Amino acid sequence: MNTLTDLPVFTTDDERWAAVQARDGRADGVFWYSVASTGVYCRPSCPSRPAKRQNVRFHASCADAEAAGFRPCKRCKPNEAPLAERQAAAIGRACRLIEASETLPTLDELAEVAELSRFYFHRIFKAVTGLTPKDYAAANRARRVTDALPASESVTAAIYDAGFNSSGRFYADATGLIGMAPAKYRSGGRGEVIRFGVGQCSLGAILVAATDKGVCCILLGDEAEALVHDLQDRFPQAQLTGGEADFEQWMAQVIGFVDLPMQPLNLPLDVRGTAFQLRVWQALRDIPAGTTLSYTDLAERIGSPKAVRAVAAACAANKIAVAIPCHRVVRNDGALAGYRWGIERKRSLLALEQVAESTK
């Protein structure tokens, strides 16, 4: 499992001063600092020339700094939300509209609630969520269906709970969205056929499993048998079929990909998750091979800068090792943190990618 990063908390003046000197964006919104010689106050990440320590005081809020007689800095605008947050809030309004709508609102309607031009709206929506509005709407409906399934009395009730207005349309959409018909999903994959194979790759034992929609699991470990048990626990009601001849080709391709993660994996992935997990996993797939990102960066990238823990949980919930590269996420200080498939495997994968990248 990926473990949470140790986020700095900036409780002492020494920590706060260090953050100001480092222009540490993680301290923004945690405290503000004023400069007696200029009469202005700033957010910690302000790019202005650093002040002398003896002129600097720290404040718990903008109101506190203003009550002490300081004006907001014109450069870092400490009393306004950072651009990324303002954009996330604007896109958040559009997401709420999509979630509340029976059918996908028009681009004009979405741009209007976000208070952006059509052109910028589409671009910023993609940058913040990692998805197009249409894909976001599809993922959101899938989430509502899967949320409703265990609690609803019947599959039909779940369909109506999720806001689908006709069963026919639901069945047309849902099988594609959650990888199996709803009744099967509700019963832990009952009646679902999942083919799988186990083999050896450079990282140890590997298990690859697929539905007829695509690869749904890539598991890594020391022992093949433990991986098969893991698969059974994930899909207790599914019919698991091992060792078919034509599955060997899939295995070979995935093993080739794990051993050389720079190569594209030309197989469809059957990815099932909540709308939030899908956003995180899409963002993971956008991290270039051979590079890493911190959980904080990842949370910012999907437009939820405060959701660092939820982002880490979504990384840990990833079932498709390597192809959804959660191994490229590290702690804020660059340390590797944990990896659900073992820290040594994470180290090897990153080393492999860096070597391949540097010999390009």
Rounded to the nearest whole angstrom, what is the least distance from the CB of residue 300 to Zn ion in the complex? 20
- Exactly one of 1, 53, 55, 75 binds Zn ion (CB under 5 A); which one? 75
Give the total of residues touching Zn ion (CB under 5 A): 6
Considering the complex, state which of residue 53 and residue 309 has its C-beta at the smaller distance from Zn ion: 53
Rounded to the nearest whole angstrom, what is the least distance from the CB of residue 10 to Zn ion in the complex? 17
Hey, is 199 helix, strand or coil? strand
Instruction: Please state, in angstroms and as integers, the Cα–Cα distance from residue 195 to each residue in 55, 69, 156, 328, following that order.
Output: 67, 69, 29, 28
Q: Are 299 and 308 in contact (CB under 8 A)?
A: yes
Q: Looking at residue 288, what DSSP letter applies? A: P
> 216 an active-site residue?
no
Residue 56 CB neighbour total at 10 angstroms = 19
Name the residue among 228, 220, 171 with its Cα closest to residue 195. 228
Name the residue among 18, 19, 50 with its Cα closest to residue 35. 50
Considering the complex, state which of residue 74 and residue 360 has its C-beta at the smaller distance from Zn ion: 74
Q: Report d(CA 341, CA 315) in Å as an integer.
A: 12
Part in contact with Zn ion (CB under 5 A); list of ranges 14-22, 75-83, 293-301, 333-341: 75-83
Part in contact with Zn ion (CB under 5 A); list of ranges 36-44, 259-267, 268-276, 316-324: 36-44
Considering the complex, state which of residue 46 and residue 299 has its C-beta at the smaller distance from Zn ion: 46
Name the residue among 266, 158, 251 with its Cα closest to residue 206. 251
Q: Which residue of the set 73, 95, 201, 326 is catalytic?
A: 326
Hey, is 129 helix, strand or coil? helix
Considering the complex, state which of residue 10 and residue 41 has its C-beta at the smaller distance from Zn ion: 41
Is residue 46 involved in binding Zn ion (CB under 5 A)?
yes
Is residue 56 involved in binding Zn ion (CB under 5 A)?
no
Hey, is 8 helix, strand or coil? coil
Long-range contacts of the stretch 82-86 (C-beta < 8 A, 24+): 82/28, 82/43, 84/300, 84/303, 84/305, 85/305
Encoding tokens for residue 313?
Answer: 């949980």
Is residue 76 involved in binding Zn ion (CB under 5 A)?
yes
- Exactly one of 27, 42, 51, 251 binds Zn ion (CB under 5 A); which one? 42
Rounded to the nearest whole angstrom, what is the least distance from the CB of residue 82 to Zn ion in the complex? 12
> 42 an active-site residue?
yes
Rounded to the nearest whole angstrom, what is the least distance from the CB of residue 72 to Zn ion in the complex? 8
Considering the complex, state which of residue 42 and residue 131 has its C-beta at the smaller distance from Zn ion: 42
Which residues does the annotation mark as catalytic? 42, 326
Question: Which positions lie near Zn ion, rule CB under 5 A?
Answer: 42, 46, 48, 73, 75-76
